[in-house]
Structure 1
Amino acid sequence: MSRYRHGLVLGKFYPPHAGHHHLVATAADRCERLTVLVCAASVESVPLADRVAWMREVHPGVRVVGTVDDIPMDVNDPAVWDAHMAVFRAAVPGPVDAVFTSEAYGAELGRRFGADAVCVDPGRSLFPVSGTAVRADPVGCWDFLRAPVRAALTKRVVVLGAESTGTTTMARALTGHYRRRGGVWAGTRCVPEYGREFSERKLARLRAGRPGADWSEVVFSSDEFPVIARRQAEAEDAAARTGAPVLICDTDAFATTVWHERYLGTSHAGVGEIAARGRQHLWLLTDHEGVGFEDDGLRDGEHLRPWMTGRFAAELARTGRRTVRLTGAHERRLATAVAAVDELIGEGWDFADPLPDLSERT
């Protein structure tokens, strides 16, 4: 088996999947040096920079570069080939000894690079998946996607609300509902509320000095809230990389903006900036009406619940976040939540069509 000095893999990687990764790994094993060229068209909805970053993460020992290629493909037209080769050569100007593909055009691509053409699993028997299939049905192709792509595609659902309104109970119940569906949904994850962990530690530190201290003596400072928001966002992103196509979040950085207002009386620009970078899709607001207040040692705001529910509702509306309000008994709330999440999932993923392949003209 030949070993090459410089190999090349090119493709749209829209988005990258297990077949792409197998191709790259195979090429890397046979080359001293490998370049992966990500070719994105302007009409496509996944940014070139994201695809390059995803490929670099999965293949850290490989040189990954990107270019914009807005030329429709037509393997039967030499002029179209010339135009594509000008794009490829500008992005990869040095000599290429081998091109690795799973496509029928691989032989011509190799000839034009003056390189060997190496075909890898052309029948896709090892990984029966394609970019077209992923765009059409991400859920059905979920097992073929690696962590960074999963994180980008996961539908993120946030449960939020005032103190003692059943947010954690709802987040866990919703997670359990989707896990019981089995298959790819069995991996549905729930992101816990980092703010609670943070609060427990604050109270524990206070009690270490004064064992009789209670929650009413805990004081928050403004600079603690960006820490809480960042840690919440980091936990959410980490969970999205390894779970199912839906992720349930027991609060988020956006909710932290209202909690800052609850404790400090004002908004916090830094927390708002963190919230603005979020990639959530749906917010489920647990209403305070009909839910008894339970003091679990970290709560003292029963009288503030109507105000907080109102603030959450107002800020969700002001910022244009997709929101469903959960009311009534737990069973009714869960049914409402499931219906909202199912609707979100049913809408699918909005991938723009790639440029047409003119080779397919009759």
Structure 2
Amino acid sequence: MKNVLKIAIVGPESTGKSTMSDYLAGHYHTIAVPEFSRSYCEQLTGECTFQDEINMFHGQLALEAELLPKANRILICDTTFITVKIWSEHVFGKAPQEVLDELPRHPYDFYLLLNIDLPWQDDPLRNFPNLREHFMAVWHKELNALNARYVVISGAGEERHDNAVKAINNFLAAD
């Protein structure tokens, strides 16, 4: 298979990850891997369980593997399974062991960490409007623990998109 660079769009709730992922996929004429947990959680009839988090981990990996061959040079990933680790630790006090085991074996080439400078958009699947700063700090911690190459993306609308494209172009030029 051709060498495809995986670029992950990550960050706290309501930072525009899905919008950014779709924009970047169009800009780079490639494909975006949607956030598996969104469609999964829309089907839940009760509270999310620890097993649901494990299911979302496996679903995200499977979706990424399915879409990777369709990518054109880069694969844009609307979040990653690191989200499962972050949410599980926050809600359940621990992360699934298979998630912890897979983290060092499943790297992404570059991350865009979307800043919390956008207004909160209410959504039935969003839970923590008052913890955005906390989760931003958690994302920094997680990415640093992985020695990940990442850039924080700020701004609104076209400025945010332009900042993301500039960061990716700089990454691609240096790679």
Give TM-score, length-normalised by structure 2: 0.91
RMSD: 1.6
2:85, 2:99 within 8 Å by CA — same for their partners in 1? yes
Residue 177, structure 1, aligned to residue 5, structure 2: no
Residue 243, structure 1, aligned to residue 71, structure 2: yes
Task: Choose which of 272, 276, 284 in structure 1 pairs with 2:112.
Answer: 284
What does residue 124 of structure 2 align with? 297
Amino acid at match of 2:109: H
Give 1 or 2: higher helix fraction: 2
1:232, 1:252 within 8 Å by CA — same for their partners in 2? yes
Amino acid at match of 2:93: G
Residue 164, structure 1, aligned to residue 14, structure 2: yes
Aligned length: 175
- Higher normalized contact order (CA 8 Å, seq sep 6+, divided by chain length): 2
SS at match of 1:324: strand
1:159, 1:286 within 8 Å by CA — same for their partners in 2? yes
Task: Choose which of 39, 55, 58 in structure 2 pairs with 1:230.
Answer: 58
Q: Distance in 2 between matches of 1:330 and 1:265?
A: 36
SS at match of 1:173: helix
1:233, 1:278 within 8 Å by CA — same for their partners in 2? no
SS at match of 1:159: strand
Change (3 A) 1:262 1:332: farther
Q: Which protein is bigger by CA-based radius of gyration?
A: 1
Shift of 1:267: 3.1
Q: Distance in 1 between matches of 2:97 and 2:140?
A: 19
Task: Choose which of 160, 164, 172 in structure 2 pairs with 1:345.
Answer: 172
Q: Distance in 1 between matches of 2:146 and 2:122?
A: 31
1:288, 1:306 within 8 Å by CA — same for their partners in 2? yes
Amino acid at match of 2:133: P
SS at match of 1:241: helix
What does residue 86 of structure 2 align with? 258
Shift of 1:344: 2.6
Change (3 A) 1:258 1:271: same
Q: Distance in 1 between matches of 2:24 and 2:115?
A: 16
2:104, 2:146 within 8 Å by CA — same for their partners in 1? no
SS at match of 1:344: helix
SS at match of 1:219: coil
Amino acid at match of 2:131: L
SS at match of 1:259: helix
Shift of 1:167: 0.8
Q: Distance in 2 between matches of 1:326 and 1:254?
A: 18
Q: Distance in 2 between matches of 1:300 and 1:277?
A: 30
The one-character-per-residue Cα deviations of 1:142-184 (angstroms, maximum 9, x if unpaired) are: xxxxxxx12xx101000011111111111111111112xxxxx
Residue 198, structure 1, aligned to residue 40, structure 2: yes
What does residue 335 of structure 1 align with? 162
Amino acid at match of 1:255: T
Amino acid at match of 1:264: F
Shift of 1:262: 2.8
1:253, 1:274 within 8 Å by CA — same for their partners in 2? no
The one-character-per-residue Cα deviations of 1:50-104 (angstroms, maximum 9, x if unpaired) are: xxxxxxxxxxxxxxxxxxxxxxxxxxxxxxxxxxxxxxxxxxxxxxxxxxxxxxx
Report matched runs for 1:1-362 at 5 Å: 149-150=1-2, 153-179=3-29, 188-202=30-44, 206=45, 218-289=46-117, 291-348=118-175
Q: Gapped runs of 5+ residues in structure 2?
A: none
**Percent of matched pairs sharing the same residue:** 27
What does residue 42 of structure 1 align with? none
SS at match of 1:248: strand
2:7, 2:75 within 8 Å by CA — same for their partners in 1? yes
Amino acid at match of 1:285: L
Shift of 1:283: 0.9
